[in-house]
Structure 1
Amino acid sequence: MFIWIYRVLFLPLWLLTLPSYVLHMRKRGGYRERFGTRFGKGMNVPEKKKGVRRIWIQAVSLGEMLAIEPLLKALSEEESIEIYLTVTTSTGYALAKEKYADLAVGISYFPVDFYFFSKCVWDQISPDVAICAETELWPEHIRQARNHGTPFVLVNGRLSDRSLRRASKIKGVFRSMLVDTTCVYACSEMDRERFIALGAAAERVKTTGNIKVDVMIEPILDVATRSTMRGELELGDGFVLLGSSTWPGEEEMLIKAYRAIREKDASAKLLIVPRHAERRHEIEAMLKVAAEDLRWHFKSRGAPEREIDILIADTHGELRALTQLADLAFVGKSLAPHTEGQTPVECGVLGKAMVFGTGMSNFRSIREGLIQHGAAREVSTEEEAVEALLELSQDSEARSRMGEGGRAWHSASRGAVARTVEGVMSWLDR
C-alpha cells in the first residue's frame, strides 16, 4: 500500500519543491549536460553483449563516487560483467565522466523517483543486479527492481545516529523498502544491527566492512611534484595546515589556529578545502572580517599572483592531491554543532597526522581504529582543536608517529571490497 501512496503524493510534492531544486541546481552549476536522462530521455544505453551481465551502480555525489571507486574497479575487472553508472549531482557526474568512462558502458543521471521516469530508465538499462551505496533507498527504484525480478543490493550500508533517528520516525516506510531490498552489506556490526532493528531480515544483512578503507589513492605525488605544486600555489616549503572538507564555523576555528601557529612559525600556510565549493562567497565574506590582515586567495580564480597566507581550494575532486601537500590536517564536519564528520580515510592512507572533533558518527568504526592506532587526536571543543593543532604543528616527531599509525590502520583494515564483490557475484550467479 505504501508504494501507491508514494506514487500518488510524489508528483505534487515534487512540483511544490521544484523551484528550490532548480535554484540549488543553478547555484551548483553543470546540470545542463544530459539533464534529460533524469526523465529517461537521451539515455543511449548500449545493448548487452552476449554472455555479459550488467550491473547498475548508483552513487549520489562526488564523495560517494570516490568512495565506491575500489568496488567499481574490482567489478570492472570481471570480464563477464559490464557496468552502467548513474549519479545524482553535477559534480559527481563530472567526476564519473573524467575517471570512470573506460570502466562503464554508460554514465547518466539517476532518474527522478517517479513511476514513469523510473520505469522508463529501468526498461532501458535492464540490469541483472542493481547497487546503491550507503543509505540511498528510493522507494520507486527499489520497487522497479522487484518488478523486473532484479536483485537490489545496498553496499557499504550505514546508518548514522541522525539517519537512525529519522528512519525510526517512519519505521513502517523504511521497513517496506528494506523488505524489497535483496541484501544489505553493512559497514560495521553496529550498522547491521540498526538495519535489522528497522525491519531488514537478519539473514539478508551481512557485515562486510567499509569499502572506503580499501581506497587506493592515485597518483601518489613524489617529492619533486609536491614541491612544484606548493610553489605554484604559493604554499612555500614550510609547514602547511589543511582544513579537509570544512563546514561552516570550522574555517573560523582554523584561522584562529593558524594565527597561533604563525606566532611560532611565520612561514606557515593555511590550506582550506571546503566540503561545498559553492560556499565560496560565504567564506569570502567571513575572511574579510576574520582575516582582513591576512593574504588569501581562491584557487578557482587561477594561480596566485602574489605571496599568500591562506589558500581556499574551492574546486572539485582535488582533495586527495592537496592532502599530500599538507603536514597536518583537521577533518571537517566534526566540531559542534556538526555531528557526522567527513571522511578521514585519505589522511590515514597518506600517513597524515590529523585532528577531528567528536562529531564523527558517519565514521564511527574508522574513527575508533584511527585513534587506537595513534593516527588521530580527538577534541571536544574549538579551543581544544586550536590547542591540539598548535601543539602538533611544533612537533614533527609526533606527526610522523601519527602518520605511521595511519598507514598501519589502513593495512590492518582492508578487505571490505573483496567481501562485497563476492556477495554481489553470488547474486549474479543466482
Structure 2
Amino acid sequence: MQILYDIVVVVLIIILMPYFLVRLIREKGFGERMKQSFGFLPKHALDKVAGKDCIWVHAASVGEIVATSPLIREFRKEFPDTPILISVVTCSGYTMANRIIDDADSIIYFPLDLPFLAANTVKKIRPRIFLPVETELWPNLLKAARRYNVAVMMVNGRISDKSVKRYQYMFSLLSDMIGTVNKFAMQSEIDASYIIQLGADPKLVAVTGNTKFDQTYTNVSTEEKKEIIEEMCLADAEGIVIAGSTHRGEEAYVLNAFAKLRAEFPKIKLIIAPRKIIRKDDIKSICEQSGFKTAFRTELKEKAAYGHDIVILDTIGELGKIYSVGDVIFVGGSLVPHGGHNILEPAAHGKAIIVGKHMFNFKDTYMLFKNRNACITAEDGKMLTSEMLELFRHPEIRHRMETTSLAIIHENQGASRRSAIILRDVLDELGKNHKTLAVPSTEAIENFQTYLFELVHGKRKKTFSGRILIAVLRFFSFIYEQLVNLKLWLYQCNILKQKKIDCYVISIGNITVGGTGKTPTSQRLAKEIRALGYKVAILNRGYRAKWHGDVGVVSDGKKLLMTAAQAGDEAFLLAKNLPDVPVLIGADRAITGRYAIEHFGIEIAILDDGYQHWQLKRNLDILLVDSINIFGNGYVLPRGTLRESLTHLNRADVCLLTKVDQAAPHSCEYIRKTLAQNNNHAMVVESIHNPKGFVEIGDWSDNIGSTGKKITEMAGCKIIAVSAIGNPASLEQTLQSIGTIIVESIRFPDHHDYTAAEITAVMRQAASRGAEAIIITDKDAVKFPRQIIEQKDRIPIYIISIEIKFKKGAEEFDRYLREHLPPLKNK
C-alpha cells in the first residue's frame, strides 16, 4: 500500500504542475511555499531547531493554526528551554502563523509527502517529538519518524465521519500511521471513539477538549473594535451581518437574506469573508448584480470610502477579530455539503451564530452549541433569511444566545493546558522506557524494503489495491528485464566493449537483492588466495561512501586510510578484517584495478558484488545463492527481488550455496535442480555462516583481530539483537542456534546509519527487558557512534564474529582454484 500511495502522490504532483504554475504567477508567497515544500528550507529557519531536540508542531492551514496558537503558548510555559518548530501547508497558514504565534522559534512549510523529501527533512531537523494537529497524518512523514525514532503525539485530534470512511480504505498504510503515534489527545469522546475504531490502542487515547476554546489572538478591546468599524467605514451601520468562510453557492443565499433584511432594516451592513480569497472578484460581481455597492477591505484600509453596503474581506487572518463587530454571524461551508467550519471564533466574542445543516466536520462542537440553543441551524436559504430576520426583530433572543455562547466557551477552556501536561508525561515516559519510542522491531518496522519484500513474496493478504500494485510492478519488471537483457546482449555481441586489466579477475556476486554473504565470502576468498602466495586486492564499488572520485584507497594492506563514513560500511569492513589486502573503491573497477596493479603490484583482483559489473572482463565468476531466500520469488525487480532473470545463471563458473545449515528441507536440491536447468557447467559448493565468537565493540573498534567470548559462553544469555542488514532473520536464527535468548529483535533498514539517540534508546529498552547484552554484526559495528562505544558503564555490546565455512564441495573448489589461478610469479 505504501508504494501505491507514493505512486499516486507522484502522479498527482505531475498532474497538478500546471495549476502550481498558475498559482506561482498569481499568488504572492507561493514560490517560497513550493521551494520549501520540495525540501529547500532556508538555513535561518533551521538554525534554532535542527539537531536540538525541538518540539515540532504541524498545522495545515489557518484553522489548525488557530488551534495551535494556545498550544504553543502552553508548551512554551511547560518547556521554556526547548525550541519549538511549526510547519504549515498553505500560504495563508504560513501568514497566519507568523502573525499570531510569537513563541515559536521557527516556522516552515511542510515538505511534500514523498519518501525522500519527508525522510530528508526529518533527518535534518531530528525533533524530539512530532505533533500533528487535528487529522494531519502523512504516511511518509510518519514512516520517517519511525526510521529516526521520533515520537509522535496527535494534538487537538479530530476525526470526521468522512475521514473515518476514507481512512479505512488505506488498509496497511492506516495501521502503519496509527501504530506510529505514541499518544492521541482528542477533542471529544466522539473523536476518541473514531480513532479507536481506526485501530488506536484505547490506552493511548485521551480526551482533552478543543484547544480553539483557549485561543486569545482574537481578543479585541473596545478601542480595537471601534478602529475596525472605522477602517471599514461602517460607523453608520445599525447592525452588521458577517458571513464567514463562505463557499461557492452560499453567497447567493446570504445576499437574498441580506436583501430582505435591508427592506426592513435599511442601515444594516454585510461583511463577506470568502474561504478562498482568490474568489473575491467573482463575489464582487455577484453582489453588484444583486444591486449592492461593495468595497474590498484592503481598499478601505488605504483610502476611506463611504456609501457601500457590503465589505468583502480580502485579507488573511483577520476574520477571527472581525467577528467581534458583527451582530449576527453565519458560518459558511454549511449550506453546501462541505462539512462546515469552526464556530468557536465567533462564539469567543459572544455572538449569535447561524449555520447550515451540513456541519458533519464539526459535529461535536456544533452539537454542544445546538443543544444549548446557542446556535441556529438553517435547513436552506429560505430558512437562513427567516432566522436572520427573527434575530434582528427580537434582540432579546440574540442577547440570550450571546450570553450562552460565552458561557460555553468559558466552561470548555483548558484543553491546551491539558495537552501540555500530557506532552510532558509522554516525554517523561519516553525517557524512562524506550519501548514507547518508535524503535523499529520485528513487528513494528515498515520500511520500504520490508513492505515490498512481504508484498511480492505473498506474505501480505492480497487486497484489491495490492493486486493493482502487483500488476503495476509486473509491468515495470517486464520493462526492466528487457533492458537488462538488451544490455547483456550488447556486451555479448561486442557492441559494448568490455575492458580488460592485466591481472586475474574474480567476480563475487548474486542475482538477488539482499544479503547472501558477498562481503564475508570476498573476505574468506581473499585470505585463502593471499595464503597461497598471491598479491590480492578487493575492488568494491563504495556503496553509500561519502568519498567521490575515480579511485579511493580504503586500505593499502597495512593500515586504514578511510573512515567507515568515507568508504561505506562494506568496504571499510573488508579493509578492517584484511590487514594484508588492499581495498579500493570506485564505480569503474577497470580504473581501480589498474591503480591496484600499478601501486600494489596485485596479481588477483576480487570484484566484491561484481556479477552485474559487465564493463570489466573477468576470468572467474562466482555466484552466491542464498539457501534461505531462494532466488527471491522468481520475478525480476520490482515485482520480485531478482536483479536479472534465472536464465542468466549460465554465466557462473562456480555457484556457492550460502547458509545451507539454516535452509528448509530440500532447498538445496531445488537450487541444484534450477541451476542445472540454466547452467550445465558450473561447480556447486555449499557453505555455512559459522559463528566464531563475540567481541566487545570497544575492543573491536580499537584493534584488528581482537578475541573475546567463545560461542559457548553466550549460551543462555538474554540478549537484544540489533541489525541493519539485508537478511536479519539469518542473524537471529544463528543467535538462537547457539543458545542465546532473544528478548527483543530490533531491525533497522539495510545500511542504516545509527545515531547516538537511537542506540541510547536501544540500551534503555535492553535494560527494561532485562537483557544482559546487545548483539550486532560487524557490518553494524562500523556505523556505531563513537560516543556510544566510549561510554562507560553501559550494557555490553558484542559483535558476533562470522566466518564462511565451505562444506560440501570444499575440496573440489580448493582444487579448482589452484588449477585455474595463474602461476605464481616467484615460481
Same fold judged by TM-score > 0.5?
yes
Separation in 2, partners of 1:295, 1:280:
14
Following superposition, the deviation at residue 125 of structure 1 comes to 1.3
Structure 2, unaligned runs of 5 or more:
431-827
Match of residue 296, structure 1, among 289, 294, 297: 294
Bigger Cα displacement from structure 2, 230-239 vs 378-387: 230-239
Following superposition, the deviation at residue 225 of structure 1 comes to 3.8
> What whole-Å deviation, never above 9, does each CA across 1:68-101 have from its counterpart, x for those lacking one?
111011112221322011111111112222333x
- Write out aligned runs for 1:193-208 (5 A): 193-208=193-208
Q: Secondary structure at the match of 1:152?
A: strand
> What whole-Å deviation, never above 9, does each CA across 1:350-372 have from its counterpart, x for those lacking one?
11111111211122121122123
Following superposition, the deviation at residue 113 of structure 1 comes to 1.4
1:375 maps to: 374
1:184 maps to: 184
2:263 maps to: 263
Separation in 1, partners of 2:324, 2:39:
41
Bigger Cα displacement from structure 2, 392-401 vs 210-219: 210-219
1:210 maps to: 210
1:407 maps to: 406
Question: Does the CA contact (< 8 Å) of 1:271 and 1:312 recur in 2?
Answer: yes
Structure 1, unaligned runs of 5 or more:
none
1:424 maps to: 423
Q: Secondary structure at the match of 2:156?
A: strand
Separation in 1, partners of 2:32, 2:3:
32
Following superposition, the deviation at residue 310 of structure 1 comes to 0.9
2:343 maps to: 344
Following superposition, the deviation at residue 173 of structure 1 comes to 2.8
Question: Does the CA contact (< 8 Å) of 2:183 and 2:426 recur in 1?
Answer: no
> What whole-Å deviation, never above 9, does each CA across 1:104-123 have from its counterpart, x for those lacking one?
22221111111222222112
> What whole-Å deviation, never above 9, does each CA across 1:19-54 have from its counterpart, x for those lacking one?
23443454443122364322332432125699x741
Letter in 2 for 1:351: G
Letter in 1 for 2:22: L
Aligned: 1:40 with 2:42? no
Q: Secondary structure at the match of 1:166?
A: helix
Separation in 2, partners of 1:16, 1:232:
43
Q: TM-score, normalised by structure 1?
A: 0.92
Letter in 2 for 1:257: A
Following superposition, the deviation at residue 422 of structure 1 comes to 1.4
Separation in 2, partners of 1:408, 1:114:
45
Cα distance, 1:239–1:150 mapped onto 2, change above 3 Å: same
Following superposition, the deviation at residue 5 of structure 1 comes to 4.4
Separation in 1, partners of 2:307, 2:162:
43
Question: Does the CA contact (< 8 Å) of 1:53 and 1:80 recur in 2?
Answer: no
Q: Secondary structure at the match of 1:103?
A: coil
Separation in 2, partners of 1:117, 1:315:
31
The number of aligned residues is 423
Question: Does the CA contact (< 8 Å) of 2:334 and 2:340 recur in 1?
Answer: yes
Task: From the two aligned structures, give the one with the greater helix fraction.
Answer: 1
Aligned: 1:325 with 2:322? no
Aligned: 1:86 with 2:84? no
Following superposition, the deviation at residue 282 of structure 1 comes to 2.1
1:360 maps to: 359
Computed over aligned residues only, the root mean square deviation of the Cα atoms, in angstroms, reads: 2.1
> What whole-Å deviation, never above 9, does each CA across 1:356-400 have from its counterpart, x for those lacking one?
112111221211221233321112121111100111012222111
Question: Does the CA contact (< 8 Å) of 2:33 and 2:91 recur in 1?
Answer: no
Cα distance, 1:27–1:201 mapped onto 2, change above 3 Å: farther
Q: Secondary structure at the match of 2:166?
A: helix
Aligned: 1:389 with 2:396? no
Cα distance, 1:268–1:8 mapped onto 2, change above 3 Å: closer
Letter in 1 for 2:296: F
Letter in 2 for 1:95: M
2:114 maps to: 114
Question: Does the CA contact (< 8 Å) of 2:155 and 2:185 recur in 1?
Answer: yes
Aligned: 1:311 with 2:311? yes
Q: TM-score, normalised by structure 2?
A: 0.49
Sequence identity, in percent?
A: 28
Separation in 1, partners of 2:410, 2:208:
16
> What whole-Å deviation, never above 9, does each CA across 1:308-327 have from its counterpart, x for those lacking one?
11111121111122111111
Cα distance, 1:42–1:346 mapped onto 2, change above 3 Å: closer
Bigger Cα displacement from structure 2, 342-351 vs 357-366: 357-366
Q: Secondary structure at the match of 1:245?
A: strand
- Write out aligned runs for 1:232-243 (5 A): 232-235=231-234, 236-243=236-243
2:220 maps to: 220
Letter in 2 for 1:359: H
Larger Rg: 2
Q: Secondary structure at the match of 1:334?
A: coil
Question: Does the CA contact (< 8 Å) of 1:155 and 1:420 recur in 2?
Answer: yes
Letter in 1 for 2:398: R
2:153 maps to: 153
Letter in 1 for 2:146: R
Question: Does the CA contact (< 8 Å) of 1:373 and 1:408 recur in 2?
Answer: no
Separation in 2, partners of 1:141, 1:165:
22
Bigger Cα displacement from structure 2, 298-307 vs 74-83: 298-307
Bigger Cα displacement from structure 2, 18-27 vs 277-286: 18-27
Bigger Cα displacement from structure 2, 196-205 vs 241-250: 196-205
Question: Does the CA contact (< 8 Å) of 1:187 and 1:208 recur in 2?
Answer: yes
Cα distance, 1:228–1:46 mapped onto 2, change above 3 Å: closer
2:61 maps to: 61
Bigger Cα displacement from structure 2, 403-412 vs 392-401: 392-401
Following superposition, the deviation at residue 279 of structure 1 comes to 0.9
Question: Does the CA contact (< 8 Å) of 1:48 and 1:54 recur in 2?
Answer: yes
Question: Does the CA contact (< 8 Å) of 2:50 and 2:126 recur in 1?
Answer: no
Cα distance, 1:282–1:34 mapped onto 2, change above 3 Å: closer
Question: Does the CA contact (< 8 Å) of 1:348 and 1:370 recur in 2?
Answer: no
Separation in 1, partners of 2:33, 2:23:
17
> What whole-Å deviation, never above 9, does each CA across 1:118-150 have from its counterpart, x for those lacking one?
222112211000011111111110011111111
> Which one scores higher on RCO, CA 8 angstroms, separation ≥ 6?
1
